[in-house]
Chain A
Amino acid sequence: MISVRDIHKSYGSAEVIRGISFDVEPGEVVCIIGPSGSGKSTILRCINGLETYQKGDILIDGTRVDPEDKSIKAIRQRVSMVFQRFNLFPHRTAIENVMEGPVYVMGMPRAKARELAASYLDKVGLGDKMDSYPDNLSGGQQQRVAIARALAMQPEAILFDEPTSALDPELVGDVLGVMRQVAEEGMTMVVVTHEMGFAREVADRVLFLEGGVIVEQGPAGEVLRNPQELRTQSFLKRVLNPL
């Protein structure tokens, strides 16, 4: 359903995405791994129309992602995003954060949206924190609210940009657990992550990015257990044995 075709993107004279192509099928979970600065966030942001790209096409079920075009709003309702730094609206409670899209973007009646939001907050294990403000939630709880906010748009796919990188280690598990559950329910997901365990167990496919190109890709088990490329091997060695 997501089709990325030969994308090129530059900031000024620096080309940070240098021809990336991949497809994501409905229900598939694709993990993107790679060193810092390799362009992982950039490619996700291009898919969500948060960045422009100079060359190539990104298609969501055949509709081209064009940040400058009106169609982008409809595309974003179909493809949600979860950010590294959560980006919850600090002036609204957890449930209001989740209701915001359904009420103001989808035009759902408040009562119905509240019900929907409550069910998603329950799902991410925060049924008892609905009326808390983000400031009063832990990072892990905030990120789970952010996931509920993305889910409440009833999207066809969700993009995750390092959703656990800003969390204290003991809070990572809860968030990954929710993501795994969402994946098992059949959500199409593209996940940028350094959590190799999650990639190995949940991802259908892994892409290894370096220097703005896909160096290696394939089924999660193969790429992570038995990488063919030297650069993938040395990257994995570094992540798995940091010292």
Chain B
Amino acid sequence: MSEALARASAYLPVLLEGVWVTIAVTVLSLLVSTVLGLFWAILGWTKVPAFRAISRTFITVIRGIPIIVQLFYIYFVMPDIGINMTAFQAGVIGMGIAYSAYQAENFRAGIEAIDRGQIEAAQSIGMSDSLIMRRVILPQAFRIALPPYGNTMIMMLKDSSLVSTITVAELTRQGQLIAASTFDNMTVFTLVAIIYLIMALPLTYLARQLERRYKKT
């Protein structure tokens, strides 16, 4: 047992390097997916049929393709058309785009949950569509979208392990590398699992708080 602990503490520094990359990928792709998701949701809400069609098509396509395949596509296919990215950039953009479809659905649900009377009241005091979006719909939609957003953060943290498949040296990838050279699968992946769990715990707590805070109204 103490021998296992000794080995674990030897692996830990390398794994912690991976932790930082995991956190970076998660936070950055969360950002990308949120902004992009909001964009799709608003595009789908406008009255312009072409915009709505674009939004709907994008979401359908992205949701229908496995995230791993999307990552491969961005990292391995894009260079063929002259777009070169580091593995890290490709990972963030790929995860961001993939998750933007889910974020968009979440935001859309939030927007659609808002009573029509709210929009009419805003119109009746002379607000423009963009003002209504900014002052009336989005603030209320955010409240509705926040609890599921907490869950999306947890999903993204775990799914960030997918970018290991395009050589991004995050936690899972570091674990694989150590395991491949030491054959100490048991210790390495137990450690990796525990580290993910530790990172997920505060997010789970946050998600619960959001749910408690915003679900009731």
- Do B121 and A89 touch across chains, with their CB atoms under 8 A apart? yes
Q: Tell me whether A91 is interfacial, beta carbon within 8 Å.
A: yes
Contact for B120 among A87, A105, A149, CB less than 8 A: A87
Partner-binding segment picked from B17-25, B69-77, B127-135: B127-135
Q: Tell me whether B136 is interfacial, beta carbon within 8 Å.
A: yes
- Do A83 and B126 touch across chains, with their CB atoms under 8 A apart? no
Q: Which residues of A contact B117 (CB under 8 A)?
A: 83, 85, 87
Q: Tell me whether A77 is interfacial, beta carbon within 8 Å.
A: yes
How many angstroms from the CA of A73 to the CA of B124 in the assembled complex?
8
- Do B118 and A74 touch across chains, with their CB atoms under 8 A apart? no
Q: Tell me whether A81 is interfacial, beta carbon within 8 Å.
A: yes
Chain B at the A interface: SS class? helix
Q: Which residues of B contact A50 (CB under 8 A)?
A: 120, 123-124
How many angstroms from the CA of A81 to the CA of B126 in the assembled complex?
10
Tier of interface size on chain A: 20 to 34
Among A77, A80, A87, A153, the one with the most B-chain Cβ atoms within 10 Å of its Cβ is: A87
How many angstroms from the CA of A74 to the CA of B115 in the assembled complex?
24
- Do A153 and B126 touch across chains, with their CB atoms under 8 A apart? yes
Q: Which residues of B contact A87 (CB under 8 A)?
A: 115, 117-118, 120-121
**Using an 8 Å CB-CB cutoff, how does the interface string of B98-131 with A read, 1 for contact, 0 for none?**
0000000000000000010110111111111001
For residue B122, give the distance in angstroms from its CB to the closest CB of chain A.
8
Among B117, B118, B123, B126, the one with the most A-chain Cβ atoms within 10 Å of its Cβ is: B126
Q: Which residues of A contact B217 (CB under 8 A)?
A: 90, 135
**Chain A residues within 8 Å of B, Cβ to Cβ:** 48-50, 73-74, 76-77, 80-81, 83, 85, 87-91, 100-101, 104-105, 135, 146, 149-150, 153
- Report, nearest first, the 4 A-B pairs whose CB atoms are least far apart: A87-B121, A101-B125, A87-B117, A81-B124
